[in-house]
Chain A
């Protein structure tokens, strides 16, 4: 690349004048490499600190004065085989990190308090049958109060805040009964301690908080990890924009740093980094990522181009334009917004249950008090029985039932190569009965491939691939990607827009356009036979080859579609590509229902029709034109190659070449739903047993503690079954290795 990568302008300036820059690292595969990187960067002048993080695959640089030269760092990293790309930490990610830490602090305090209170409580329980004198018991209760009250006040914050917010909005959520249970248990225990009564529930209250906090922390940690990996992949895949400054100087910046009015240069083989208008140059554009159309569009001065398009054969200079309301992007953003607003807010299963649960519990407690009063008991006894009901029904198992399964299942999904963006996607995924696929880039590979390689001379193709390594043309790069181990040829020269040539065994080898290789007639014949393919010609002396490249179906597409149909799902293809191209693909995949030449709004209309028929749809797509449909579907997936806007509209992203993660995700979701239902059933059963005891006034602190922790543990252990890996040798394509590895460099 002709321009030094200089990201120092993106650094964040801190209060003490130091600058700090976060980079995503590609190629970091061993924990020990962390040290290797830090040692190598130690001697860079003016660099104050370099800290690599293996868990997140990130590198943080800090420097204070302007003599620091970023290219030096980039060069050292490159020589060690790492690629670093800057990325802006999303606001959401920073927030998630804060939440995660806060939950951990709360959990630590609650767990500490729970252990100590439990020690004291056990002494009291055992003392019941022994010779524990009332003074010692009161002392133990007093110490328990001193530990449990401040600890609950601190560790209960997440629940109190959420319950308070819900009550203020006039709603009930699961945190309301939790808060009520904890507060009542503490209040009653303090009263009992003061009146020297034998029973105090400090242990139940604080242990409940510890269990719930652990569940919430695991949930947030899992989500944070998924999000960090997704952000890294996005940073590594984002194209580098070559911005031309007012003085003509070029600097490399990530697309997120571009502002309207910036002038950007795009070389052949590069993706357009932002939406804009062409100022100079002309090229064919591959817009399959934008419109789903596989035909290339020729663009010239004054025409609009969209982020994600690939400049095929010419260099372009463009001006970045802000959205002005009339462009394709605006249209798509408007559709996405409408679809998101229309998607009725999905109510999670656990929330639906807790909506019934909270009123039922409160009514039961109230009824208990009334019955006791009617039976002639004192107000104190009636109140104690009612509070006991509220304590024992504090929905510990219920609150853990769904999140615990979700944590285990999203961990398993993560290993299968699916990154969940939204927490409730798993539940929605289990409900679907229809799958809508986009064609281009989803059922087919995003990059073109060499077709019919077996009919060509393998040796000649290998030589062509070696030559292709020296070219930046998208077709050559696709050819080279098919032979990653081919050694580049020395002395290869590229003529932009024509081809690349080198001397091999004393004879010139040429790879490029038909005219460049003097193979126009053969190429024309070949193109006539396969009009959808792009043609690359190759000549080595007298030996020639005409190579056809096009987007082919993903290797396991047919298998996966068959597997989906076997599960009783209705499969539909909705594509923005031309009708004949869609027909060919649908026939090859044996999909009976398909539509071509659809505009983004048409796809949304189709999904609306399906919804009106009562169908729950999973939409899978990668193009910008799919984004509104992804937002409109019941649940949506997109491959990692999709544009940023598209990924933002999807509920989950899957990695790798294979479509197997889709089947895996569906199976896991179904299993997770089964486990959530089991857990909820169990939580209800537990209540059915414990509530009568409490209503009868037979609940002692010992029973309360045993029942609560027992049910929580059982629910959690049951949830772990969602994460158990299944032996599915056929689909073990190990996309997990790509999570952090070389996948992004493809």
Chain B
């Protein structure tokens, strides 16, 4: 069972990374406009140069 001494902290660290990522996203206002962001992803402004 000594493997738990290694696995439990590892699992917790990975989970904490996910939590940190969520808190960062929340702090940088990424959840302020969910519907708008869903539509924005479809915009192809990065292809503008190739347009005629």
Contacts and interface: CB of A to CB of B under 8 A. Distances in A.
Interface in A407-455: none
Interface in A14-73: 30-32, 34-35, 39, 52-56
A53 B23 contact: no
A35 B26 contact: no
A147 interface: yes
B19 A54 contact: no
Contacts of A120: 8
Interface string B5-47: 1001101100110110011001100011111101110110100
Interface in A102-126: 104-105, 108-109, 112, 115-116, 120
A236 B41 CA distance: 29
Nearest to A132: B1
Nearest to A101: B26
Contact of A104 (B12, B18, B26, B45): B26
B34 to A, nearest CB: 6
B37 to A, nearest CB: 8
Contact of A32 (B9, B11, B34, B39): B39
A108 B22 contact: yes
Contact of A136 (B1, B9, B11): B1
A108 B5 CA distance: 26
B4 A136 contact: yes
Contacts of A55: 32-36
Contact of B15 (A39, A52, A53, A116): A116
Nearest to A119: B11
A651 to B, nearest CB: 28
A39 B43 CA distance: 10
Contact of A105 (B1, B4, B9, B26): B26
A53 B43 contact: no
Interface string A700-732: 000000000000000000000000000000000
A55 B34 CA distance: 7
Contact of A116 (B4, B12, B38): B12
Interface residues of B, number: 27
Contacts of B42: 32, 35
Contacts of A112: 15-16, 18-19
A53 B33 contact: yes
B42 to A, nearest CB: 7
A104 B1 CA distance: 37
A47 to B, nearest CB: 16
A108 B19 CA distance: 7
Nearest to A55: B33
Given A39-B45, A136-B4, A143-B8, A31 B19 contact: no
Nearest to A35: B43
Interface-centre pick from B11, B31, B33, B43 (highest chain A CB count, 10 A): B33
Contacts of A136: 1, 4
Nearest to A108: B22
A183 B5 CA distance: 28
Nearest to A120: B8
A143 B32 CA distance: 35
A136 B19 CA distance: 26
A31 B35 contact: yes
A139 B5 contact: yes
A54 B26 contact: no
Given A32-B42, A116-B15, A108 B36 contact: no
Chain B binding surface SS class: helix
A104 B11 CA distance: 23
A39 B48 CA distance: 11
Contacts of A108: 19, 22-23, 26
A108 B43 CA distance: 31
Given A35-B43, A39-B43, A52 B36 contact: yes
Q: Looking at A54, A104, A105, A115, which has the most chain B CB atoms within 10 Å of its CB?
A: A54
A136 B35 CA distance: 47
Given A34-B39, A34-B40, A116-B15, A56 B33 contact: yes
Contact of A31 (B23, B26, B36): B36
A30 B35 CA distance: 9
Contacts of A39: 43, 45
B35 A54 contact: yes
Nearest to B18: A112
Contacts of B11: 116
Interface string A270-307: 00000000000000000000000000000000000000
Contact of A109 (B19, B27, B43): B19
A116 B18 CA distance: 13
Contacts of B16: 112
A630 B1 CA distance: 69
Contacts of A34: 33, 36, 39-40
Contact of B36 (A53, A109, A115, A116): A53
Contacts of A115: 15
Interface string A343-374: 00000000000000000000000000000000
A30 B40 CA distance: 11
B41 to A, nearest CB: 9
A485 to B, nearest CB: 29
Interface in A483-538: none
Interface in A77-116: 101, 104-105, 108-109, 112, 115-116
Contacts of B31: 104
A120 B9 CA distance: 12
Contacts of B34: 55
Nearest to A133: B1
Contact of B32 (A30, A53, A116): A53
Contacts of B33: 34, 53-56
Nearest to B11: A116
A1 B33 CA distance: 33
12 contacts: A35-B39, A35-B40, A56-B32, A56-B33, A104-B26, A105-B23, A108-B19, A115-B15, A120-B8, A143-B9, A143-B12, A147-B12
Given A30-B39, A35-B40, A54-B33, 13 more contacts: A32-B42, A34-B36, A34-B39, A35-B42, A52-B36, A54-B35, A56-B32, A108-B23, A112-B16, A116-B12, A133-B1, A143-B8, A143-B12
- 5 tightest Cβ-Cβ pairs between the two chains A and B: A54-B36, A31-B39, A34-B36, A32-B39, A31-B35
